[in-house]
């Protein structure tokens, strides 16, 4: 019997423990690790389906120079040579690394050491700049160090949880389930602050659909209200908090309930309800993520939240904390090693004594003495030719940076681009001169730190495929070839881990809370068997902060003026995530189960706007900004505020001919953190007329480029499904079909064309397009990919006595669709989510769809009521 291996999920910052059993070949069985403190055995839909993503489809398995396979020696020599030459000619600041919160701590540590200690530049920035940097800057301003003052246990002990700019139900599902469990067990109140009504709002006590960007007004108003009600914590303010002159005067002026309600575009009664709930529940956790961080005033927004917690003493106590929840599996580990361009190493900045200390520790001759370029500036410097060699590791900036069109031009123009990735073709990798095959999740080995400072091991389950190598190995090989053999003489991740731990403890007389001294001398076996542990304990339990006087800081922040609609760009674009996709879909995109939740990128539009724009549900719509434009399928949703639309970040050139959100946002950033304001871009939305629509199903994983206006691809069992729409003669799409026996059915009145290709009795491909008719459901045809002996009858696109359309899949674990759920609720008079589970199974495995089921229950009972009226 194979023994399960304990590891950590590849995806979000919840950092769930996984118990994985290799089953031979590339097969792995995935279960939650009951002993892991982050999840106690639970996994969300993405974690549950990790096993579907460890295959080798699309993997980069060999080093590539241009389009040619190269040996590791040749590729590494070339990278080292080009970096060395560029530095010799143009200086250390002419090169850069752009790295990622998806690297392990050990990978991150050596990349940071190479750039900042040996190359002598701080031009290493990370996608955490797009993600957590406002939280980092806010923590530094308030606490003196980037320390998250919360743990998941606080969620169990809070009486009130406020989610601000966080769609926790979709993006941190296991934390959300923990919140729901606390609510069920002890009646914890839940308030959601988000301009959109997301599934996180299902069953919440209050949803404040505030005007985007008005969070500072909301929090300052709350602080003023608490002050006026005499509910500040005077003792804590006196002993543990410093306020600059004029702080309270500014809070007391102009933050009355009415003014705040107007600034936030909320009814004063709702605001009052929130403030009263806050007043009544001192055990408050305010959990925030990208609705706060990804703003051109993100750092101020973070401090507005922390100010309220400091002034009311809601920090350092059980169940009370401001809680910045992290996105990527190792966003925190990256911050700990100093992987941002604005930090040096181990929670040290570029103060001269830190530079000297780190230089001594690394025995590095050439430590960077000043911060490097932050991501947006870094790509601008590439575009302007100031950076001439770039190495991208574990991130896809051609998709995920703001104004991604410009980033693509910069990558194209850069004289030397190296990409380390697990996939052969990404929107970024197509611009690379050298591609280096990295070990993927399930193959790599090291540590990650989750949102609540818990460090866990990721462990290898599978052998390295092809010539893939771990990121730490790749970086150290280049460093050695650049001449720094001794400084990068590591044999294994444990060697790097110990050095990192030693640096956190080095000449650390208690000034830096990050101190992993106990780890600095552990043996390889202890490292191999490492149990999850949290560093820093309850960091501010004694009301002492890592500042020079031991006090935290209240930071004066004022609400920025919010821009009204512009003539050419009258609406506002908000961007974010879908429940079952991860970022640029390079891995979740491989899972047929996960593809079912959202099969196309949608632009969600309020019904009023849809009427004004003449857009119907299911139409194609073009979203344009001053930066670029993209196409999306329109979804009419009263969860949007009028004037605001939402698009997902996931689709790339690899899966779609439109639907690329990254082309749209402005490259405007927060002045303190440099984090882009992804959540608010002025846009124009228009309907795009198409003469026909349809879909294409193809056997096999190899992507094809479909020659039409709109084509998006998702993985299905045995192949891929493409949704298509366009103008002109759709017959040209038949070029995408494979060779084989062809059957067709044409209905000229509706302009419907059905063509199937059958090879050796198996369906190889099918194309169905129509000008005015209905399209059949995709499910039955997808199922035919697995059937032996299909014939021309496949063109009917349904089986004999076929089942009704099950509708969009809601529960991906059991493949249960919306129509099936609605029917069960109606026919069996189901009244709650557990009853749906008992009746048809939906929501009983990973539980990620439970918020959606709750929503369907509400909608269905409303519809039933209306029908009865
Ligand atoms: N399924 C899934 N989960 C993920 C990821 C993924 O790709 N897919 N990625 C991971 C990563 S890296 C991250 S960073 C996290 C992100 O996790 P979240 O921050 O929860 O996700 P987002 O969808 O980016 O945005 C959160 C919410 O901010 C709201 N918002 C927009 N503007 C404002 C505003 O002005 N004020 C307020 N209060 N709210 C606003 C949006 O409407 C949105 O619902 O998710 C992680 N988890
Ligand atoms: N408009 C808009 N844009 C956004 C956001 C938003 O909300 N709105 N959110 C931003 C945020 S918070 C984030 S975190 C970013 C995420 O954006 P990215 O980091 O660009 O997205 P990923 O798809 O996670 O990219 C990871 C890449 O690394 C590869 N990879 C996976 N594992 C490994 C590995 O172990 N080693 C190596 N070398 N490569 C690996 C993957 O194949 C993939 O190509 O997007 C940002 N962009
Ligand atoms: S919540 Fe889901 S995606 Fe996040 S770590 Fe846990 S299983 Fe993975
Ligand atoms: Mo992120």
Compute the distance from residue 652 Cα to the ligand 1 centre, in Å: 19
pLDDT-derived band of residue 774, with 50, 70 and 90 as boundaries?
confident
Token pair, residue 184, equals 């069920």
Token pair, residue 787, equals 């059937």
Asked if 358 and 384 touch (Cβ cutoff 8 Å), the reply is no
Q: Is 17 in the pocket of ligand 3 (CB under 6 A)?
A: no
Separation CA 779–CA 125 (nearest Å): 44
**For helices 493-505 and 105-112, angle between their N-to-C axes, nearest 10 degrees:** 70
How much is the pLDDT for 28?
Answer: 97
**Residue 823 belongs to a domain with what CATH number?**
1.10.10.1100
Separation CA 506–CA 483 (nearest Å): 26
Asked if 97 and 393 touch (Cβ cutoff 8 Å), the reply is yes
Q: Which ligand is nearest to the CA of 48?
A: 3
- Give percent above pLDDT 90 in the chain: 90
How much is the pLDDT for 791?
Answer: 86
3-state secondary structure of 288: strand
Q: Lay out the sheet containing 189-193: strands in order across.
A: 206-208, 189-193, 160-164, 284-288, 321-324
Count structural domains, the chain. Answer: 6
pLDDT-derived band of residue 522, with 50, 70 and 90 as boundaries?
very high
Separation CA 744–CA 733 (nearest Å): 14
Q: What pLDDT digit, counting tens, does each position of 199-212 carry?
A: 999 989 999 999 99
- pLDDT for residue 866 is more than 90: no
Same domain, 722 and 676: no
3-state secondary structure of 139: helix
Q: Is 327 in the pocket of ligand 3 (CB under 6 A)?
A: no
Q: Is 198 in the pocket of ligand 1 (CB under 6 A)?
A: yes
Q: Is 289 in the pocket of ligand 1 (CB under 6 A)?
A: yes
3-state secondary structure of 794: helix
Q: Which of 516, 534, 552 is the last residue of a domain?
A: 534
How much is the pLDDT for 63?
Answer: 98
The average pLDDT across 373-391 equals: 98
Cβ neighbours of residue 251 under 8 Å, at least 6 residues apart? 220, 223, 224, 227
How much is the pLDDT for 864?
Answer: 72
Q: Which ligand is nearest to the CA of 474?
A: 2
Mean pLDDT across the chain, nearest whole number? Answer: 95
Find tokens 């809370």 and name the residue: 513
Same domain, 253 and 316: yes
- pLDDT for residue 861 is more than 90: no
Asked if 796 and 780 touch (Cβ cutoff 8 Å), the reply is no
Compute the distance from residue 452 Cα to the ligand 1 centre, in Å: 18
Q: Whose CA is nearest to atom 13 of ligand 1?
A: 327
- Give percent above pLDDT 70 in the chain: 99
The average pLDDT across 344-362 equals: 97
Within a domain: 589: no
Asked if 551 and 16 touch (Cβ cutoff 8 Å), the reply is no
The average pLDDT across 287-303 equals: 98
Q: Is 14 in the pocket of ligand 3 (CB under 6 A)?
A: yes
Same domain, 668 and 722: no
Same domain, 832 and 861: yes
Within a domain: 544: no
Q: What pLDDT digit, counting tens, does each position of 641-661 carry?
A: 999 999 999 999 988 888 999
Compute the distance from residue 400 Cα to the ligand 2 centre, in Å: 7
Find tokens 């020079």 and name the residue: 548
Within a domain: 468: yes
Compute the distance from residue 12 Cα to the ligand 2 centre, in Å: 11
Same domain, 279 and 345: no
How much is the pLDDT for 802?
Answer: 64
Q: Which of 324, 357, 382 is the last residue of a domain?
A: 324
Q: Is 290 in the pocket of ligand 2 (CB under 6 A)?
A: yes
Q: Is 163 in the pocket of ligand 1 (CB under 6 A)?
A: no
Q: Which ligand is nearest to the CA of 582?
A: 1
Q: How far is CA 786 from CA 459, 593, 594, 696, in A?
A: 34, 15, 19, 16
- pLDDT for residue 119 is more than 90: yes
Q: Is 22 in the pocket of ligand 1 (CB under 6 A)?
A: no
The average pLDDT across 809-826 equals: 93
Q: Is 196 in the pocket of ligand 1 (CB under 6 A)?
A: yes
**Angle at Cα 298 formed by Cα 302 and Cα 277, nearest 5°?**
40
Nearest atom, ligand 2, residue 665 CA: 1
**For helices 257-264 and 268-280, angle between their N-to-C axes, nearest 10 degrees:** 110
Cβ burial of 688 (10 Å; 0-12, 13-18, 19+) is middle
Q: Is 165 in the pocket of ligand 1 (CB under 6 A)?
A: yes
Asked if 584 and 650 touch (Cβ cutoff 8 Å), the reply is yes
Separation CA 181–CA 175 (nearest Å): 10
How much is the pLDDT for 868?
Answer: 64
Within a domain: 542: no
**Residue 495 belongs to a domain with what CATH number?**
3.40.50.740
Within a domain: 59: no
Same domain, 682 and 715: no
Q: Whose CA is nearest to atom 6 of ligand 1?
A: 582
Which residues lie across from 20 on neighbouring strands? 5, 30
Compute the distance from residue 417 Cα to the ligand 2 centre, in Å: 17
List the domain range (segments joined by +) for residue 816.
Answer: 809-868
Asked if 825 and 833 touch (Cβ cutoff 8 Å), the reply is no
Q: Is 375 in the pocket of ligand 2 (CB under 6 A)?
A: no
| Residue among 703, 731, 724, 729 at smallest CA distance from 715 | 703
Same domain, 308 and 415: no
Same domain, 721 and 748: yes
Token pair, residue 714, equals 């998702």
The b/e string for 221-255 (b: 16+ C-beta within 10 A; e otherwise) is bbbbbbbeeebbbeebbeebbebeeebbeebeeeb
How much is the pLDDT for 658?
Answer: 82
How much is the pLDDT for 655?
Answer: 86
Within a domain: 36: yes
Token pair, residue 407, equals 């980033």
- Which phi and psi (to 5°) does residue 685 adopt? -125, 130
Nearest atom, ligand 3, residue 848 CA: 2
Which residues lie across from 622 on neighbouring strands? 631, 686
- Which phi and psi (to 5°) does residue 723 adopt? -90, 135
Q: How far is CA 401 from CA 139, 165, 500, 678, 847, in A?
A: 24, 20, 29, 9, 32
Enter the pTM of the model. Answer: 0.96
**Residue 615 belongs to a domain with what CATH number?**
2.40.40.20
- pLDDT for residue 806 is more than 90: no
| DSSP per position, 377-389 | HHHHHHHTTS--E
How much is the pLDDT for 793?
Answer: 87
Token pair, residue 486, equals 């001794």
* Positive/negative CA dihedral, 779, 780, 784, 787: positive
Within a domain: 574: no
How much is the pLDDT for 840?
Answer: 95
Q: Which of 687, 714, 746 is the last residue of a domain?
A: 687
Separation CA 372–CA 116 (nearest Å): 9
Round the CA-based radius of gyration of the chain to a whole number and report it.
27
Same domain, 138 and 219: yes
Q: Is 393 in the pocket of ligand 2 (CB under 6 A)?
A: yes
Same domain, 29 and 80: no
Compute the distance from residue 845 Cα to the ligand 3 centre, in Å: 14
Q: Whose CA is nearest to atom 4 of ligand 3?
A: 12
User: Which is more confidently placed, 8 or 746?
Assistant: 8
Number of neighbours of residue 866 by Cβ within 10 angstroms: 8
Asked if 432 and 414 touch (Cβ cutoff 8 Å), the reply is no
How much is the pLDDT for 2?
Answer: 79
For a mutational test of ligand 3's pocket, the pick from 47, 101, 328, 532, i.e. the residue with the most ligand atoms closer than 8 A to its C-beta, is 47
Same domain, 385 and 499: yes
Within a domain: 779: yes
Q: Is 199 in the pocket of ligand 1 (CB under 6 A)?
A: no
Separation CA 343–CA 337 (nearest Å): 9
Asked if 58 and 425 touch (Cβ cutoff 8 Å), the reply is yes
Q: What pLDDT digit, counting tens, does each position of 461-476 carry?
A: 999 999 999 999 999 9
Number of neighbours of residue 727 by Cβ within 10 angstroms: 12
**Residue 252 belongs to a domain with what CATH number?**
3.40.228.10
Compute the distance from residue 579 Cα to the ligand 1 centre, in Å: 10
Helices (H), 144-189: 152-157, 168-171, 173-186
Separation CA 407–CA 669 (nearest Å): 15
Asked if 142 and 553 touch (Cβ cutoff 8 Å), the reply is yes
Same domain, 346 and 490: yes
- pLDDT for residue 487 is more than 70: yes
Q: What pLDDT digit, counting tens, does each position of 391-422 carry?
A: 999 999 999 999 999 999 999 999 999 999 99
């Amino acid at each position: 019997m194979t023994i399960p291996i304990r590891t950590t999920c590849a995806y979000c910052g919840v950092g769930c423990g996984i118990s994985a059993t290799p089953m031979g070949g590339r097969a792995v069985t995935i279960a939650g690790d009951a002993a892991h403190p982050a999840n106690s055995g639970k996994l969300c839909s993405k974690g549950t389906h990790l096993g579907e993503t460890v295959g080798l489809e699309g993997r980069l398995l060999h080093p590539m120079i241009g389009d040619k396979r190269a040996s590791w020696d040749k590729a590494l020599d070339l990278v080292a040579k080009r970096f060395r030459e560029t530095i010799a000619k143009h200086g250390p600041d002419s090169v850069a690394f752009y790295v990622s919160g998806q690297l392990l701590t050990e990978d991150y540590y050596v990349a940071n050491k190479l750039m900042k200690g040996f190359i002598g530049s701080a031009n290493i920035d990370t996608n955490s700049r797009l993600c957590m940097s406002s939280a980092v800057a806010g923590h530094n301003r308030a606490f003196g160090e980037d320390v998250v003052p919360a743990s998941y246990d606080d969620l169990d002990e809070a009486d009130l949880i406020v989610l601000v700019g966080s769609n926790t139900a979709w993006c941190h599902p296991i934390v959300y389930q923990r919140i729901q469990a606390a609510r069920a067990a002890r009646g914890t109140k839940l308030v959601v602050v988000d301009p959109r009504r997301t599934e996180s709002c299902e069953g919440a006590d209050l949803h404040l659909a505030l005007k985007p960007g008005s969070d500072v007004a909301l929090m300052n108003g709350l602080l003023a209200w608490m002050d006026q009600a005499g509910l500040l914590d005077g003792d804590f303010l006196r002993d543990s908090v410093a306020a600059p002159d004029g702080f309270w005067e500014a809070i007391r002026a102009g933050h009355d309930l009415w003014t705040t309600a107007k600034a936030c575009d909320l009814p004063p009664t709702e605001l009052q309800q929130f403030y009263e709930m806050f007043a009544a529940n001192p055990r408050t956790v305010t959990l925030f993520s990208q609705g706060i961080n990804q703003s051109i005033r993100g750092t101020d927004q973070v401090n507005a939240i922390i100010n309220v917690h400091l002034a009311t003493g809601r920090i350092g106590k059980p169940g009370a904390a401001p809680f910045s929840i992290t996105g990527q599996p190792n966003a925190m580990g990256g911050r700990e090693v100093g992987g941002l361009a604005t930090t040096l190493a181990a929670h040290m900045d570029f103060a001269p004594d830190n530079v000297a200390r780190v230089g001594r520790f690394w025995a590095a001759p050439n430590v960077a003495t000043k911060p490097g370029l932050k991501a947006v500036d870094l790509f601008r410097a590439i575009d302007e030719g100031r950076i001439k060699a770039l190495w991208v590791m574990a991130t896809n900036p051609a998709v995920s940076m703001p104004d991604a069109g410009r980033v693509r031009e910069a990558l194209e123009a850069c004289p030397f681009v190296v990409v380390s990735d697990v996939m052969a073709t990404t929107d970024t990798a197509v611009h690379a001169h050298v591609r280096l095959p990295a070990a993927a999740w399930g193959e790599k080995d090291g540590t990650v730190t989750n949102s609540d400072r818990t460090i866990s091991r990721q462990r290898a389950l599978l052998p390295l495929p092809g010539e893939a190598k771990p990121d730490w190995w790749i970086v150290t090989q280049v460093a050695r070839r650049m001449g720094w053999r001794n400084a990068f003489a590591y044999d294994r991740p444990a060697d790097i881990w110990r050095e990192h731990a030693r640096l956190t403890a080095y000449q650390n007389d208690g000034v830096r809370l990050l101190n992993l001294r106990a780890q600095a001398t552990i043996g390889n076996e202890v490292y191999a068997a490492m149990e999850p542990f949290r560093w820093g304990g309850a960091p501010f339990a004694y009301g002492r902060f890592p500042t020079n006087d031991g006090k935290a800081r209240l930071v004066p922040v004022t609400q920025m003026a919010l821009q009204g609609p512009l003539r050419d760009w009258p609406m506002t674009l908000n961007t974010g995530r879908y429940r079952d996709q991860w970022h640029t879909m390079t891995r979740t995109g491989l899972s047929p189960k996960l593809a079912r939740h959202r099969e196309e990128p949608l632009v969600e539009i309020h019904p009023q706007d849809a009427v004004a724009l003449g857009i119907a549900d299911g139409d194609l719509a073009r979203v344009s900004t001053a930066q670029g434009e993209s196409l999306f399928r329109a979804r009419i949703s009263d969860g949007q505020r009028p004037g605001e639309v939402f698009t997902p970040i996931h689709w790339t050139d690899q899966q779609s001919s439109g639907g690329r959100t990254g082309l749209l946002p402005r490259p405007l950033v927060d002045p303190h953190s440099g984090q882009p304001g992804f959540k608010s871009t002025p846009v124009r939305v228009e309907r795009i007329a198409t003469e026909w629509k349809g879909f294409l199903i193809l056997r096999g994983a190899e992507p094809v480029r479909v020659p039409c206006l709109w084509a998006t691809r998702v993985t299905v069992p045995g192949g891929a499904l493409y949704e298509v729409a366009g103008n002109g003669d759709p017959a040209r799409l038949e070029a995408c079909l494979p060779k084989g026996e062809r059957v067709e059915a044409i209905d000229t009145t509706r302009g419907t064309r059905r063509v199937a290709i059958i090879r050796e009795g198996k369906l190889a491909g099918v194309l169905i397009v129509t000008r005015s008719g209905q399209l059949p459901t995709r499910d039955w045809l997808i199922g035919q990919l697995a059937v032996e002996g299909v014939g021309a009858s496949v063109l009917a696109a349904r089986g004999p006595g076929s089942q009704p359309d099950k509708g969009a899949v809601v529960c991906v674990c059991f493949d249960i669709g919306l129509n099936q759920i609605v029917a069960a609720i109606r026919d069996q008079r189901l009244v709650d989510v557990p009853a749906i589970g008992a009746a048809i199974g939906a929501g009983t495995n990973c539980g990620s769809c439970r918020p959606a089921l709750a929503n369907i229950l509400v909608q269905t009972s409303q519809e039933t009521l209306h029908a009865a009226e």
